[in-house]
Structure 1
Amino acid sequence: MSSPADPASQASPLTAVVPRDQGGARLDQFWMGHAEDLGVARSRIQSWIKIGLALINGVPCLRPGRRLAPGDRLELRAASQSSELKPENRELRVLYQDDDLVILNKPADLVVHPAAGLDQGTLVHRLLHHFPELAGKDAGGMDTSRPGIVHRLDKDTTGLLAIALNEPARLRLASAFAAREVEKVYLALVHGRPRAQGVVDAPIGRHPTSKTRMAVTEKGGKPAHSAYTVLWTAPEDRFSLVQVRIASGRTHQIRVHMRHVGHPLLGDPTYCPASFTGWQHEVPGMNALLRRPMLHAWKLGLPHPRTHQPLSFVLPPPKDMLRVILAGSRTTQRVGLTGMPGCGKSLFLAELAALGLPTWSADKAVAELYQPGRDGWELLRRNFGDRFIPDPEGPVDKRALLNSLRETPRLRRELEALIHPLARRHLEDFWQTHRKQRVAAAEVPLLLETGWPSDFDLIVGLACDPDRRRNWLLTDRGWDENLLADVESWQWPEAKKIQACHLVVANPGSRDQLAGRARDLTVVLRWLRRQAARRLLSRITALVAPERDASRDQE
C-alpha cells in the first residue's frame, strides 16, 4: 500500500490488495486498520467511503460494511481540500440551543448531509454558517462530511432534528440513539382507515430489484419496530392521521411499514401504488397539494448529552399537512329543501340553479320513473296490472293513481314502499355525479316524512303565508279544498315540519325577492362550510397538541 504523508492534500489514491488473512473483513474496518498510518480519524475514513471515494476492483462502493474477498483491489481517494464543505447563509429554524445541543425544525425538500453527487445545498452547509464551531478546532475529530449529525430525516420529511455541537456531545447522543433511549414519534397521513392501533415488527432491507427502495425482507433485513395509533380519519375513510412511534431508525422505516400493512403514505411516489390514489382525483386541488410524502417528526425526547436531564420537544405539523387534511376532508355540502304544498319550493330551487348550484327535484325524478319502460312504470305494471296503466305501452294514468291514493291509505303506503327507494337511488346518483361540487341542493317534499335526513348535511324549510299558499293552490293549481286537505294530511303539520329544519327561508311573495333569498342562502352556506373547516382545524390542532399522546394514554 502506498503511504502518503498527508492524504487530505494528495491527488493520487491510496491502493491496496486484500491479503488472504483479511478475507471477509468490512471495507471500513480494512481502511481503519491503517488509520494510524494515514494520520486521519477513523470517522473521516468512513465518511470518504460514504461519499463514493472508495473503489473495489475499480467500482465505487458507498457501503462501509461491504465484505471483502482475498485479492480484491482497493482504492481510497481522500477528499481534497477543494471539496471541503462551504458554509451557506440560509435559513435555519432553531427551536432550542445551548453549548452542546441544537434542536431544529427541518423543512421539506432539504437533504440533511452531503452525499455522492451532492456537495451543496444541504442542512449541514447551513449549520456550518450558523454554527462555525462545527468546523473549528473544538470539533474534536467530528466527521467533516456530516458534522453534528446524530440522526437523519428524509429529504421531504419535516420536523424535529437534533444536532450535536461538539464531538463529546455527538458521541453521547449517538450512544443514546443506539441504546434506544430516544423517543421518536411521527405524524403521518396514510391512505384508508387502519385498525385503531397496531404494531409492525418486520425487518427492513434493500428492495430485491430496486436499489433506491427499501422493503420488508425475510432474509438480510435489519430489525425494525413501529407502533401506530389512528388519531383521526377523513370522511368516506379516504385517509387517516396516525402517530407512529419507532424504536429503530431504518431508512424509510415508516413509509415501508405502513405500506406493508396496506396503508401507504399520501404523496409517496416510491411506496404508494396508483391503486390507492383514485380518490385524490375526485378532490379538487388535492394532487397539487401532495408534493411530498406526508410525514412529520412530531415528538423527540432525549437525554441532554452533558447533564443527562431528559428533554422533550413537540412540533405541530406544517401548513402543507394541514392543507391536505382540510382539502381531503371536503365533501359536497348536500342541502335538502322541503316545505308544505304551494310554499314555492320549485321556484326557490330554480333560483338556486340560476346561481350555479346543481339541483335535483324529487317530483321530477318520480315523473321520470313513471315514464313507459322505466323502473317505476315497470313496478306499477307488475304489482297492479292495467289498473293505472291501461295501455301496455302507454303512460301512467296519474289521475286514477291519485284518486286511488286518496281513497285507500294502505295503497299509498304500499306505493311509497315501492317508489321511494327508486327515488332515493336516483338522489344518490345525483350526489355522486356532483361529488366534486362544493354544494348541491335537492327538493324533497316528503324529506322528513320519508326518513331521508341522513342523506343531507343541511335541511332548509321554505315557509310561506298559509293564506297565500292556499289561495295559490286553489286558483293557480286548480285544487279543491278536499284535495288540499288530503295532500296535507300525508305530511307533517307545517309547524312541526319547519321546526325540524336546520334553516328556514321565508318566501316573501315575489320572484325577485325570492331570488334575493336564494343569494342570501348561498352566503350562509359558504359561511357554514368555513365554520366546518375551522372546527376541523381546531380538532386536529387539539389532537396533536403537546399534552396529547394517544398511544401513551392507552398504555
Structure 2
Amino acid sequence: MVEKKKEILWKWTAGESDRGMRLDKFWAGRLADEGVSRGRVKTWIEDGLATVNDAVVDKGKFKLSEGDVLAIGSGGTSLDEDAPQAVPGGLEVLFEDEHMLVVNKPAGVTTHPAPGEPGPTLVNFLLHQWPDMAADVSGMDGQRPGIVHRLDKDTSGIMAVARTEAARLKLASEFAGRRTHKVYLAIVHGCPERGEGIIEAPVGRHQTQKTRMAVLEKGGREAKSEYRVIWTGPRGLASLVAVRIFTGRTHQIRVHMAHIGHPLLGDAVYGPRENAEWARRPDSLAGLAPRQMLHAFYLSVTHPDTGEPVTRWLEPPEDFRRLLAGLTRECLRVGIVGMPGSGKSALLGMLRDMGLPCFSADEVVAGLYGPDGDGAAMIRQRFGGRFTREDGAVDKPALFAAMQESGGVRRDVMDMVHPMVRHACEEFFKVHRDEPAAYAEIPLLLEGGWQEGDLVDMVAGVACPDAKRTGELREKRGLDRETMAVFDSWQWPEDRKLAACDLVLDNTGTLDDLAGEARRLRDHATGVYTARNQAFSEWLADLWSGLAGEIDVRRAAE
C-alpha cells in the first residue's frame, strides 16, 4: 500500500488542440518528458489529485474544453509496511549506470510481489543493492520499481531494469513497441521435426483453467516465436532449442513449444504427461529437471538516455548445464558378436564377474520360449500346437528342424522373436543408463542391422580359429557338426563380421587369456565413454559465446 498526500506540482491551460481530449491522455502526454507514466497519471487522477477549474476530477475519461485550467499533483509518496522491503540478495550485474541495469534473475525468484508470492522477489533484492530505486526517491511504482518486463518465477536469466521513472517509461516503450531482441534457451522433450521454424499462434487465458495460458483460435492475442534446434541428445530424448520471441505473452515459449508437441522439460503445467513420464525414469535424469528448463539468454535494448544498444548474453545456470551434460552422459552400449562357439558367452560371463551390467540374447530367447513366455504364445498362435509342448513351452528341437527345412518358417519365427529381444535389450540399456558401459551379447546383431538402427554405440567381435571353435568349444556346448554348420549358415562369414566391428577380441589362447581380453574391452569402453563426455563438455563450454555471436550477426542483418 502507498499513502499519498496532495502536493500540486503541474498546472496547464487547455488550448484549442486539446478540445475533446481525455484528461488522462492529456496529462500523460504533458508529463512523459518528466518521467511520469500514464499509469502513474491514472493513479493520481483516481486518487483525487487532479483538478479542472479548481474542481477535483477523478475520472481519466473526462473530456477537456478549450480554456480549462488544469492542475495535477504528485502526492509525494511514503511507503507503509506492505511495500516491498530491501532484502540482501547479491544479484549478478551485467550492466549498470545511473539510468538502467541488466541483471541475472535466478530461477525460483519471482520478479515482483504478487498475491501468493510474498518473496523475497527480484524487487526486494534490487532495493537492497540500489536503494535509490525506492518509490519515495525515484518516483517509480512502489510495488514494482524499475520493472519493465518479467520472467516466470522458475525461468532464469537476463532482465533489464530501470533506475528512474524517465528510464522506465522509455524502456517500457521499447518492450511494448517490440524493439527489443530477446532470445531464450529451452530444453524440450524430443526433437522438433523441423530444425527451425516460426510459430504464430494466438495465446490467451485457458477457457477452463484460468491459471494457465493456451493457444486459442478465437480471443487469443497475437503471439510469434521463432525457434532453432541447437543440439539433440542421444536417442532424440531431448533437445536444446534457441527461441526468439517477437511478442511478450505470458508463458509464450512454454505454450508455443507444447503446441508443436515439444513441451519444456520440467514443465508440469504445459507438459504434464511428458513430465510425469520423465519423473518415472529409472535413472538419474529423473531428478535433473526440477523446474521448467527455460533461460533468458540474450537481450538487446536501446539505452533510455544515450539511445545506443545495450546488448548482453548470459550462460545458463548450473542446473541447466547439468541436465545437458546428463543427457549425453549415458552408458556406452556395447554389442558383442562372433561366430557360433567363438567364446562370446564365456566373455560375457567374465564381464559379469567384474560386476558389469550384461545382457544375453540367448537367455532372453530361452525365457520367451518357456511355458509362460510371450514367444511361446506367439508361436503357438502362428503354428497351432505344431511346435508346442504339453506345458506350453516351445518344442525347440521340432522348431529348429522346421527352421532348417523351411526358410519361410525361419523368417516367421525371426520376425516374431527378434522384436521382443530388441525391446528387452533397449530396456536393459535404459535401466543401466547411469553406468559407464553396458554389454549385450547379440549373436545376430549385425545380420539384423541393429547396429545401423542405433541400438548400440560400438560392436566388439570375438575372433576364434575354426579348429578351436568347431572342435573343443563345440563339444563343450554339446553341438554336433551339422547343427554348428546350420548356425554358421544363418550368419555372416567371420571375416565380414569382424570387419564390421569396432574392436576385435582374440580367443586363440586360454581362458585366462580371454579374461585379459575381457578387461581390455572394459578399459576400452570406459575410455570411449570418458572421451565422449569430455568432448561434449568442451563443446558445451564453447557453445554460449559462439551462439551469442551468431545472434549478434542475425540482429545486425535485420
| Category of TM-score, reference length = shorter chain | 0.7 to 0.9
1:353 deviates by 3.0
Q: In the alignment, which residue of structure 1 is the partner of 2:420? A: 426
For the residue of structure 1 that corresponds to 2:550, the secondary structure is: coil
Give me the identity figure in percent.
39
In the TM superposition, what whole-angstrom CA distance separates every residue of 1:33-73 from its partner, at most 9, and x where no partner exists? 9xx9xxx9777868989xxx9xxxxxxxxxxx9999xxxxx
In the TM superposition, what whole-angstrom CA distance separates every residue of 1:82-128 from its partner, at most 9, and x where no partner exists? 44543323221112223333221221011222334656522222222
Q: In the alignment, which residue of structure 2 is the partner of 1:225? A: 224
One of 431, 437, 443 as aligned partner of 1:436: 431
Contact 1:360 1:427 in 2 (8 A): no
Going from structure 1 to structure 2, the CA distance change for 1:152 and 1:478 (only over 3 Å counts) comes to closer
1:183 deviates by 0.7
Q: In the alignment, which residue of structure 1 is the partner of 2:285? A: 286
Contact 2:110 2:119 in 1 (8 A): no
For the residue of structure 1 that corresponds to 2:352, the secondary structure is: helix
Going from structure 1 to structure 2, the CA distance change for 1:277 and 1:543 (only over 3 Å counts) comes to farther
For the residue of structure 2 that corresponds to 1:227, the secondary structure is: strand
Contact 1:156 1:293 in 2 (8 A): yes
Q: In the alignment, which residue of structure 1 is the partner of 2:203? A: 204
Contact 2:351 2:518 in 1 (8 A): yes
Provide the alpha-carbon RMSD of the alignment: 4.8
- Alpha-carbon distance in structure 1 between the residues aligned to 2:417 and 2:265: 37
Going from structure 1 to structure 2, the CA distance change for 1:42 and 1:227 (only over 3 Å counts) comes to closer
Alignment of 1:244-393 (within 5 A): 244-274=243-273, 277-328=276-327, 333-364=332-363
Residue 174 of structure 1 pairs with residue 172 of structure 2: yes
- Alpha-carbon distance in structure 2 between the residues aligned to 1:112 and 1:394: 65
Q: Which amino acid in the other structure matches residue 312 of structure 1?
A: T
Contact 1:193 1:238 in 2 (8 A): yes
Residue 148 of structure 1 pairs with residue 160 of structure 2: no
Alignment of 1:406-485 (within 5 A): 411=405, 416-434=410-428, 435-438=430-433, 439-454=437-452, 455-464=455-464, 468-469=468-469, 471-473=471-473, 476=476
Q: In the alignment, which residue of structure 2 is the partner of 1:165? A: 163
Contact 2:36 2:165 in 1 (8 A): no
In the TM superposition, what whole-angstrom CA distance separates every residue of 1:158-189 from its partner, at most 9, and x where no partner exists? 11111223333322222222221101111222
1:429 deviates by 3.0
Contact 2:226 2:243 in 1 (8 A): yes
In the TM superposition, what whole-angstrom CA distance separates every residue of 1:300-346 from its partner, at most 9, and x where no partner exists? 11222222222322223222123333434566643221223433211
In the TM superposition, what whole-angstrom CA distance separates every residue of 1:185-241 from its partner, at most 9, and x where no partner exists? 112223343342443334433334444333344565443322223333344444333
Q: In the alignment, which residue of structure 1 is the partner of 2:123? A: 124
Contact 2:132 2:138 in 1 (8 A): no
For the residue of structure 2 that corresponds to 1:146, the secondary structure is: coil
Q: In the alignment, which residue of structure 2 is the partner of 1:10? A: none
- Alpha-carbon distance in structure 2 between the residues aligned to 1:232 and 1:278: 22
- Alpha-carbon distance in structure 1 between the residues aligned to 2:162 and 2:4: 32
1:512 deviates by 5.1
1:157 deviates by 0.8
Q: Which amino acid in the other structure matches residue 286 of structure 1?
A: L
Q: Which one is further off, 525-534 or 86-95?
A: 525-534
Going from structure 1 to structure 2, the CA distance change for 1:418 and 1:107 (only over 3 Å counts) comes to same
- Alpha-carbon distance in structure 2 between the residues aligned to 1:286 and 1:475: 46
Q: In the alignment, which residue of structure 2 is the partner of 1:56? A: none
Going from structure 1 to structure 2, the CA distance change for 1:369 and 1:297 (only over 3 Å counts) comes to closer
Q: Which amino acid in the other structure matches residue 350 of structure 2?
A: E
Going from structure 1 to structure 2, the CA distance change for 1:427 and 1:46 (only over 3 Å counts) comes to farther
Going from structure 1 to structure 2, the CA distance change for 1:376 and 1:453 (only over 3 Å counts) comes to farther
Contact 2:388 2:394 in 1 (8 A): yes
Contact 1:206 1:213 in 2 (8 A): yes
Contact 2:183 2:244 in 1 (8 A): yes
Contact 1:188 1:241 in 2 (8 A): yes
Contact 2:189 2:237 in 1 (8 A): yes
1:150 deviates by 1.7
For the residue of structure 1 that corresponds to 2:549, the secondary structure is: coil
Q: In the alignment, which residue of structure 1 is the partner of 2:10? A: none
Alignment of 1:507-518 (within 5 A): 507=507, 509-511=509-511, 514-515=514-515, 517-518=517-518
1:351 deviates by 2.3
Q: How many residues align?
A: 503
In the TM superposition, what whole-angstrom CA distance separates every residue of 1:522-551 from its partner, at most 9, and x where no partner exists? 344344334334444555566652223499
Going from structure 1 to structure 2, the CA distance change for 1:192 and 1:446 (only over 3 Å counts) comes to closer
- Alpha-carbon distance in structure 1 between the residues aligned to 2:517 and 2:478: 28
1:459 deviates by 0.9
Going from structure 1 to structure 2, the CA distance change for 1:118 and 1:41 (only over 3 Å counts) comes to farther
Q: In the alignment, which residue of structure 1 is the partner of 2:109? A: 110
- Alpha-carbon distance in structure 2 between the residues aligned to 1:541 and 1:492: 44
Going from structure 1 to structure 2, the CA distance change for 1:550 and 1:372 (only over 3 Å counts) comes to farther
Contact 1:158 1:296 in 2 (8 A): yes
Going from structure 1 to structure 2, the CA distance change for 1:166 and 1:368 (only over 3 Å counts) comes to closer
1:290 deviates by 1.9
1:380 deviates by 11
Contact 1:377 1:396 in 2 (8 A): no
In the TM superposition, what whole-angstrom CA distance separates every residue of 1:376-400 from its partner, at most 9, and x where no partner exists? 89869988998x9999999758499
Give unmatched runs, 5+ long, in structure 1.
8-25, 54-64, 69-75, 406-410
- Alpha-carbon distance in structure 1 between the residues aligned to 2:290 and 2:486: 60
Going from structure 1 to structure 2, the CA distance change for 1:263 and 1:47 (only over 3 Å counts) comes to farther
Contact 2:147 2:161 in 1 (8 A): yes
- Alpha-carbon distance in structure 1 between the residues aligned to 2:279 and 2:552: 28
Going from structure 1 to structure 2, the CA distance change for 1:233 and 1:458 (only over 3 Å counts) comes to same
TM superposition score normalised by structure 2: 0.73
TM superposition score normalised by structure 1: 0.73
Contact 2:403 2:409 in 1 (8 A): no
Contact 1:379 1:418 in 2 (8 A): no
Going from structure 1 to structure 2, the CA distance change for 1:127 and 1:46 (only over 3 Å counts) comes to farther
Residue 239 of structure 1 pairs with residue 222 of structure 2: no
- Alpha-carbon distance in structure 2 between the residues aligned to 1:397 and 1:294: 52
Q: Which amino acid in the other structure matches residue 548 of structure 1?
A: E
1:460 deviates by 0.9
- Alpha-carbon distance in structure 2 between the residues aligned to 1:146 and 1:224: 25
Q: Which one is further off, 438-447 or 84-93?
A: 438-447
For the residue of structure 2 that corresponds to 1:547, the secondary structure is: helix
Q: Which amino acid in the other structure matches residue 133 of structure 1?
A: D
Q: Which amino acid in the other structure matches residue 87 of structure 1?
A: A
- Alpha-carbon distance in structure 2 between the residues aligned to 1:541 and 1:304: 30
